[in-house]
Structure 1
Amino acid sequence: MRVYVFLVLVHLLTCLSSASASVSRPRCHHCEKPSYCDCSRQNLWRIPVIPSKDIAELDLSFNKLWSIMNNEFHGYGSLQSLTMSNNKIQTIQEEAFVPLSNLKELDISSNILESLSGKWFKNLVSLQHLNLLGNNYKTLGQGHLFQPLKGLRRLELGGPYLQSITINDFSGLSEELEELFFRGEHLQSYMIGSLRRIAPIRRVSIALGGLFERDPTLAEVLMSDVANPNTTLTFADTKFDKADHMVPFKAANKGGTTHLRFKNSSMTLAAFVALLRMLSYSNVTLFVVEDAKLFLTHFDLGLSPLKLNNLGHIVFKNLEVPQFYSFPAFFFLAPVMKVLHSLSVINSSVFAVPCETSVDLSNLQYLDISSNFIDDFRLVYLMCDGKDVFQGLQTINISKNYLQSINSQLFTKLDNLKNIDMSGNKFYRMPENCSWPANLQFLNLSSTRLTTVTDCLPKSLWILDLSHNDLTVFDIGLPCLKELYISGNKIAALPSGSLYPHLTFLSIPNNNLPTFSSDGLNDYGMLGYLEAGSNSYICSCDFVALMADGLTGHRVELRDRADQYICESPDSERGKAVRDAHLSVFECHMALALSLLCSGIMAVLLLTVGLCHKFNVLWYMKMTWAWLRAKRKPVLKRAELKYDAFVSYSQMDSGWVEAHLIPELEQNEPRLRLCLHGRHFVPGGWILDNIIDSIEKSHRTLFVLSQHFIRSEWCKYELDYSHFRLLDQNTDLAVLILLEPIDKQTIPKRFCKLRNVMNSRTYLEWPDDEAHLPRFWQSLRRAIKRPENDT
């Protein structure tokens, strides 16, 4: 029975093992870039399966990972960056990172690891950046934790639970280490020399919280191990409430520290003064306080003056001063001020600097008081009304203050001044004329709401920044200018290049620039670089062609991206990058296209005229019009006809008509009434109208055919209209008399019906023999005479 129960248990365990192994690993669905997968914030509880083996960066932060197993990174051999911060990782198996031999960055910060193991890193031979901050470990293991990491350059470790550092904790770290961030706000023990075992590190950041108050001796011991002339020492997230808290900084003084920084810290004025006194006679050349708070408290000036003769650069940036309006003038800092070469007080609530302080800054070369509360009046006070102060100053930055006027006279006597940054103020307008230092080379007036520029601009400028104003034109000649920045305005044309003979760089994006041409670029004799994207470009053929060759023909290089040059018109290309625009031949070669079009139209017209002439289209149109007009008239009955015959003849044959035809038909019985154009056409009327009217009122139309008739234009009209009547009424209305032999081929081919009549009917020929005349006249009368019962 026991054996049976044992076998059942074994079977159940096997099934459970198989079931757990069959559970599929999650997948990451945010691998948009070829080598990067963003798998953060996806509630992952295991390492996901990646879609490609070529992934170089994997972000697994802010998930629910709690344990990293040995086989979970199988297939991640190409990974170079792995981030697993802000999870719940509490265990990592020793072989978990073995496949990651190419890994350069590993971040497992902000988890709940209670212990660290050097075996994790034994195969991470390429690792350069390791972040172990914010875990629950109290120690760094059994020592030699970082022994395998010979190429490590940046190390971040420590956290709220770290209590002790031993002598072997940092052994194995080579000279490659460049940056160390150490957090030990609850550190209780530190073995002297632990950090000294590492070669001098270029940058060391220490976050010790309240350790300077709780155990200043421990803080001093730790500081003595990292203080070095070649190390930039930064204190982050630390409080300094009292003057006594600055005692450990004598270790920095003894260690020869040259660069000292405070970041995200708080400090009282008493502690600050004590720090300066502690650093007297030190090698500190750079002193930086950034993202910190400075509280007003009573402080003791002491008896001896401050001695910081090596201090050349002071930076206060984003310094919050809750009672800035009550702070005293630091006249006691005069000895320090006299040695300074660079002073930056940025975004630190400065609203006034006494003239006396400016006088003390006699060796200052760089002054930055940007993003403060300086107005026009207090700037005059700072500059001592333009008198003999700041004689060595080369650069001044007074941007983002409350200035409203360009008071250039304050700087006129500063012969060494080359750079002035007045951006971010509210000037609105510029004086017509200004007086500037003779050697001024750089002037920044960007974001000052200027609408126009004047001759106030100094002619000595090399670099001018007028970006993000309201300028519509820029046409001030600056013969020495090399770089011009006028982006973000409303300028509609490139400035004339002849005004800037030495210009090498032009930045004019985000304006109203519709185009620029080869000629415009050629005006700039030395232009080498251009930024002109994000304008509303009219994509003409010349402009598209100019952009297609990348401006190489003008020796100009675009410094912004080509896809920032977008077509606004024509409509067919709107929204496309200029380089992708395709214009038609008609758009690109307007003059040639119009010439070809006009030539084509002319050719078609000539061809049409030729065809109309060849196929008598004009004749058909005229006769159709005449026929339509005649159709609108009521048809006369035969009794209503006025004439027996309308005689159509050439004026050259009038002699025959008057000598033979008229006497014979009108004077001999039976007399006939003939309509002749010489006596019956209405004077002043249109000839064609007379012809039509005469034919309509005649019983017959008598054509006296001869060579003269064939060549007569008006005879042709009479013949044409008669031809229409033949077609319309289908009766024998035409009587033909041939005065002389005529080849039928000479009759116009368009009279096909008439030619058929001549072929099918007989016509009268004027006889050469007088004996045949009676018969001729008899036949003619018979053809013309109307029947007696005609009604």
Structure 2
Amino acid sequence: MKTFMKLVSFSIMTSLRGHRITFPVMWIIFTTAWAVKMNEDMEACLEVIPSLQYSCFKRNLSYIPTTIPPSTQHLDFSFNDLTTLQRDTFPRLPLLRHLDLTRCHIQHIDNEAFFNVRNLSVLILTGNPVKYFGRSSINVLEKIYKLVLADIGLFFLDRFNLRNLTNLKELKIGTNRLFSLALPTYAENFKDFTLLDLHTNNISVIRTVHTSVLRQMSSNLTLILSGNPISFIETGAFNGLYLREINLLNTISSTTTREALGGLSGLNVKKLKMGYFTEAGRIQMNPDYLDSICFINFQEIDFHHSTYFKLPSHILLCMSNSSKIVLTNVGIINREHVYFPNLEEIVVVKGKMAILPDVLLSHQHNLKKLVINYNHQTTEFKSFDDLPSLDYIDLSHNELIMNCCDIEFSGIPKLRYLNLSENARVKIRGLGLLNYPSLEILDLHGTEVEIEHDVAVMQNLKNLKTLDLSHSQIIFKSIVIFYGLSSLKELKMADNSFAKGIFGQLFSSLTALELLDISNCAIEDIPPTSFEDLHNLKNLILSGNKLTTMDFLTGLSLSKLKSLHTDNNHIASISPNVLQNIPVDILVFDLSFNPIECSCSQTEFISWIINHQSVLKDPHLISCKSSSLNSRVINFDPTHCVHKKRVIIIVSLFAVVIVFLLAALLYKYQFYIHYCFILLRGYRMSRQQECSYDAFVIYSSKDETWVLNELVENLENRPPPIQLCLHERDFQAGKSITSNIVDEGIMGSRKTIVVVSQHFLDSSWCQFEFELAQSWLVLRRNAGIIIIILEDVEGNNTRRLFGLHKYLRKNTYLKWKGNVVSNVRFWARLRKAILRN
């Protein structure tokens, strides 16, 4: 569309060359050019939220489109090419709050670069190789609260002035080359400052003077030093400093850890995050390197290690005042009880505890959340004791073999969440779950579950809302297994089995149930009474079974159903009385991958499918079983089953279709029909017409500079002169473009020169001219086409243009290389090709 508009505009200007241009004509030309510019800009950027948010991400732009309205508040201009920021780079955007200039190749930022966007709150300059920073360039952004200067090659913070940024909350300057964490003294005025991100810099030494400004700032500050090669911290550098969080992941080296961490003594921090990540086996850490954390006052600790690390007992004692402990790849070797008076949450991932729970986990009176996942060698389970506040237990992915649960969790009176999924085996005793009336979520999926004596093991779980027994290898034999679950809302039991005759009464007590998943259970039939008590059921998943009918829908109990999944079953048809009982408010009905019988006996069912595609999930995946081509049901035409006047209807429909297709073909290909008449007219006229030009040049307007400076200069202006036909110079004004191409260009020239470039392949007019030239070559055997490859183009692109790829394979072409030696040979060969009869 853009290319066409440019051609139209250019044609108007060409046709007016040499004539007096009136004001109306000037206005037409101006508005046409403005429309083209507007169209290009609007296509360049995506309007995410009208008038408020725009994304120009990765559009290869070298300017900010002026069509972005002044009301814009969020602009993503990342991954473009700006190089220099100066006062006129940005249009006036007084309401712009968020500006992302990530990786825009910015090297130069003037003092007044952000003058027109001075109300910014967020500025992101990540990944720009800035060589020059105007000292006041950022200082004008007095309302900014988040500044990201990551990966810009920064050596010193005093490279620019941030004195006026008193509202600054977050400063991210990671992945640079800073040698110090010291902030300038004026940063003491940043009263709301909450984040200083210095990750992956060159900070190796931290002295007391470097933290002096941090002491004057908010105690709510997060300091990220991860990835820095810290080898020395001066004693007292952090003494008396209050932080919300400090991140020391992958900072302290294995040889200087004790000296480095010693300087952290006296630090007061809410969350301490530390650890070391290396390739397995590369570095063996000395356990003593953690001694200095005993002199740090922290409430939460998050300790990660890339390889297994044994935590010494005395270090565990240093964590005794923590409210939250997270350990990854860390083993606890202590076998004596340690009381944590403030501990509310503990997370142990990829540790090594052969027996759960460890002696340390009992008698923690304030513990509320316990997570132990992916522990190695964990197969045995012992009971918890004296955990009065604990309500959340996640012991998933541990290969546990345990009995459950009358004794094991007896010391947890407030247990609300219990996750034993993805373990080896759990046996639920007859009275196993009677003592946990507060339990709301029980997850056993992926664990082999054995239920003792097939009794009502859950009858006391009156507050249970979610129960997941999926993939648990259970064979449900007793109808009383779910008795007592009066509050249950979600029941997942996929990939299990049911004893014969049990299904009809299994769910009778689940009156509050809203979601039921019984997929992949090899169910062949569901009795109509199975769901008659599930008046609140909204989501029913029956995928992957062996159902042939859906008679369970005949009752009125499932009136609130919103989604029904019966995909991958053996359903061939659904009777009309069942279709009438499908809830009118249903939003999703999945019938895909069923062998639907597409026959005249099922026209009502097929018509229902066709008329309810908005409700059906993936209607194009509902296929006919009897068709050898596995055709879609939505493509089946039930009208062919009407016996009365069938022949007349079929003939009439056939005639209508033929007429419609002919009309559509005539309409769709009217351009090509007109194109054929032009060629035939030209062929008849060519017998009485002599050629006016030696060669007609087909090229993109974007390659005009090369054509005028090189092609015209070397052919027309060098002896012997060769007369070229150029569309912007030689086409007759007032004559249609297609007629000019045939009469003046192809028919009026002995040869045709095609200048191939990426612009040529992108131009619809160039493609049209080339197709005319090919057609003319077929009509007139003596016509010749000379191909010039102006720039390398990919083979896939040439295949898009009909005949070009094939022509290049079978014919010799010229290639422009642009050097002196090649040019002499190029022009000699081109002249010879043009002058040859």
Q: Residue 113 of structure 1 contacts residue 135 of structure 1 at CA under 8 Å; is this kept in 2?
A: yes
Task: Say if 1:425 and 1:31 are closer, same or farther in 2 by CA, change over 3 A.
Answer: same
Aligned-residue offset at 1:335 = 0.9
2:484 aligned with 1:469, yes or no? no
Aligned-residue offset at 1:108 = 0.8
5 Å matches for 1:685-700?
none
The one of 228, 232, 242 aligned to 1:215: 232
Q: Residue 40 of structure 1 contacts residue 60 of structure 1 at CA under 8 Å; is this kept in 2?
A: yes
Q: Residue 34 of structure 1 contacts residue 55 of structure 1 at CA under 8 Å; is this kept in 2?
A: no
2:334 aligned with 1:330, yes or no? yes
Letter in 1 for 2:271: H
Aligned-residue offset at 1:362 = 4.7
Deviations 1:543-587 (A, max 9, x none): 799876x58xxxxxxxxxx5x557876356267213999xxxxxx
Q: CA separation in 2, counterparts of 1:414 and 1:232?
A: 40
The one of 204, 218, 231 aligned to 2:222: 204
Q: CA separation in 2, counterparts of 1:124 and 1:516?
A: 68
Q: Residue 269 of structure 1 contacts residue 295 of structure 1 at CA under 8 Å; is this kept in 2?
A: no
Letter in 2 for 1:433: V
Task: Say if 1:508 and 1:296 are closer, same or farther in 2 by CA, change over 3 A.
Answer: same
The one of 183, 197, 214 aligned to 1:181: 197
2:212 aligned with 1:193, yes or no? yes
Task: Say if 1:522 and 1:575 are closer, same or farther in 2 by CA, change over 3 A.
Answer: closer
The one of 322, 334, 338 aligned to 1:311: 322
Aligned-residue offset at 1:236 = 4.0
Deviations 1:253-288 (A, max 9, x none): xx3x33333488579471575366345xx452x333
Q: Which residue of 1 aligns with 2:677?
A: none
Aligned-residue offset at 1:540 = 7.8
Aligned-residue offset at 1:63 = 4.2
Aligned-residue offset at 1:369 = 2.1
Q: Which residue of 1 aligns with 2:354?
A: 352
Q: Residue 379 of structure 2 contacts residue 401 of structure 2 at CA under 8 Å; is this kept in 1?
A: yes
2:132 aligned with 1:119, yes or no? no
Q: Which residue of 1 aligns with 2:671?
A: none
Output the TM-score relative to the length of structure 1: 0.53
Task: Say if 1:498 and 1:191 are closer, same or farther in 2 by CA, change over 3 A.
Answer: same
5 Å matches for 1:588-627?
none
Q: CA separation in 1, counterparts of 2:504 and 2:46?
A: 45
Aligned-residue offset at 1:365 = 3.8
Task: Say if 1:533 and 1:194 are closer, same or farther in 2 by CA, change over 3 A.
Answer: farther
Q: Which residue of 1 aligns with 2:415?
A: 394
Q: CA separation in 2, counterparts of 1:450 and 1:459?
A: 23
Aligned-residue offset at 1:211 = 4.8
Q: CA separation in 1, counterparts of 2:294 and 2:413?
A: 27
5 Å matches for 1:529-678?
532=563, 562=587, 564=588, 570-571=606-607, 573=610, 576-578=613-615
Unaligned runs of 5+ in 2: 1-36, 279-283, 382-399, 498-502, 593-604, 619-641, 643-837
Q: Residue 491 of structure 2 contacts residue 517 of structure 2 at CA under 8 Å; is this kept in 1?
A: yes
Q: Residue 261 of structure 1 contacts residue 287 of structure 1 at CA under 8 Å; is this kept in 2?
A: yes
Q: Which residue of 2 aligns with 1:445?
A: 468
Q: Residue 418 of structure 2 contacts residue 442 of structure 2 at CA under 8 Å; is this kept in 1?
A: yes
Q: Which residue of 2 aligns with 1:70?
A: 87
Q: Residue 107 of structure 2 contacts residue 130 of structure 2 at CA under 8 Å; is this kept in 1?
A: yes
Letter in 2 for 1:576: Q
Deviations 1:641-664 (A, max 9, x none): xxxxxxxxxxxxxxxxxxxxxxxx
Q: Which moved more, 1:158-167 or 1:405-414?
A: 405-414
Task: Say if 1:519 and 1:373 are closer, same or farther in 2 by CA, change over 3 A.
Answer: farther
Letter in 2 for 1:445: D
Deviations 1:288-347 (A, max 9, x none): 336x425436x7655x9826553233233xx346xxxxx563325x3146764432224x
2:303 aligned with 1:289, yes or no? yes
Deviations 1:21-62 (A, max 9, x none): xxx999684644443554444554x23426543655443334
Letter in 2 for 1:486: L
The one of 369, 372, 375 aligned to 1:369: 372
Letter in 2 for 1:195: L
2:449 aligned with 1:433, yes or no? no
Q: CA separation in 2, counterparts of 1:62 and 1:80?
A: 19
Q: Residue 130 of structure 1 contacts residue 155 of structure 1 at CA under 8 Å; is this kept in 2?
A: yes
Task: Say if 1:489 and 1:518 are closer, same or farther in 2 by CA, change over 3 A.
Answer: closer
Deviations 1:95-127 (A, max 9, x none): 222222554432111222356556334554554
Task: Say if 1:273 and 1:580 are closer, same or farther in 2 by CA, change over 3 A.
Answer: closer
Deviations 1:596-637 (A, max 9, x none): x9xxxxxxxxxxxxxxxxxxxxxxxxxxxxxxxxxxxxxxxx
Q: Residue 170 of structure 2 contacts residue 196 of structure 2 at CA under 8 Å; is this kept in 1?
A: yes
Q: Residue 108 of structure 2 contacts residue 133 of structure 2 at CA under 8 Å; is this kept in 1?
A: no
Q: Residue 154 of structure 1 contacts residue 180 of structure 1 at CA under 8 Å; is this kept in 2?
A: yes
Task: Say if 1:463 and 1:380 are closer, same or farther in 2 by CA, change over 3 A.
Answer: same
Aligned-residue offset at 1:483 = 5.5
Task: Say if 1:154 and 1:376 are closer, same or farther in 2 by CA, change over 3 A.
Answer: same
The one of 504, 508, 514 aligned to 2:540: 508
Q: CA separation in 1, counterparts of 2:551 and 2:289?
A: 58
Task: Say if 1:406 and 1:93 are closer, same or farther in 2 by CA, change over 3 A.
Answer: farther
Deviations 1:349-384 (A, max 9, x none): 556335552663553443222444577645457989
Query: How many equivalent residue pairs?
Result: 516
Q: CA separation in 2, counterparts of 1:169 and 1:158?
A: 21
Task: Say if 1:120 and 1:463 are closer, same or farther in 2 by CA, change over 3 A.
Answer: farther
SS in 2 for 1:486: strand
Larger Rg: 1
Q: CA separation in 1, counterparts of 2:507 and 2:316?
A: 52
Q: CA separation in 2, counterparts of 1:264 and 1:28?
A: 48
Aligned-residue offset at 1:91 = 1.8
Task: Say if 1:104 and 1:406 are closer, same or farther in 2 by CA, change over 3 A.
Answer: farther
SS in 2 for 1:369: strand
Aligned-residue offset at 1:155 = 3.0
Q: Which residue of 2 aligns with 1:92?
A: 109
Task: Say if 1:116 and 1:531 are closer, same or farther in 2 by CA, change over 3 A.
Answer: farther
SS in 1 for 2:91: coil
2:257 aligned with 1:246, yes or no? no
Aligned-residue offset at 1:163 = 2.6
Deviations 1:739-773 (A, max 9, x none): xxxxxxxxxxxxxxxxxxxxxxxxxxxxxxxxxxx
Task: Say if 1:89 and 1:62 are closer, same or farther in 2 by CA, change over 3 A.
Answer: same
CA RMSD of aligned residues (A): 5.1
Task: Say if 1:428 and 1:480 are closer, same or farther in 2 by CA, change over 3 A.
Answer: closer
Percent of aligned positions that are identical: 13
Unaligned runs of 5+ in 1: 1-23, 322-326, 552-561, 582-596, 598-791
Q: CA separation in 1, counterparts of 2:234 and 2:364?
A: 39
Letter in 1 for 2:198: F
Aligned-residue offset at 1:136 = 1.7
Task: Say if 1:258 and 1:29 are closer, same or farther in 2 by CA, change over 3 A.
Answer: same
